[in-house]
Amino acid sequence: MDTHTPTHTLVARPRANRRHPVEFKRAVVEQSFLPGASVASLARSHGINANLIFAWRKLYCPGSQSSDIALLPVVLSDEGASPSNIESSAPHETTADEMEIVVGKARLIIKGKPDTGVLQTVLAYLLR
């Protein structure tokens, strides 16, 4: 019988997770949003998994660093407001970029261009 003694042994190294800089992640995500870009080919070209790019895309907010976002103070009460309580008398002097909504005793003056989702939520609450 012939016995074979290996001259070397293969040892599997544990795979180390790589840490990518934020600038790299942002650049890859922005490339993935370009028209005609393929996430799979982009991942292949950078040597990463496509699922990683999709995870980074969920974390990416293109306007998050801008300071032009402002939150407006809103006070809500449970006083009975219904569509029949909506009045248009005694209007507030509004300009072209303002909107006034009066429901019962509540008066809402919106300046600028409001976010439609927030406006729908506020109106739904006022009209319930």
pLDDT per residue as tens, the chain (128 positions) = 567 666 776 666 666 677 899 999 999 999 999 989 999 999 999 999 999 999 999 888 765 554 555 666 776 665 555 555 545 455 556 566 787 877 777 777 888 777 788 888 877 777 77
DSSP labels for 54-92? HHHHHH--TTTT-S---PPP-----S---GGGB--SS--
What pTM was computed for the model? 0.39
Apex 28 CA angle, 65 and 48, nearest 5: 135
Q: What's the token pair of residue 74?
A: 């809103």
Q: Break the chain into its structural domains and give their ranges.
A: 22-59, 83-127
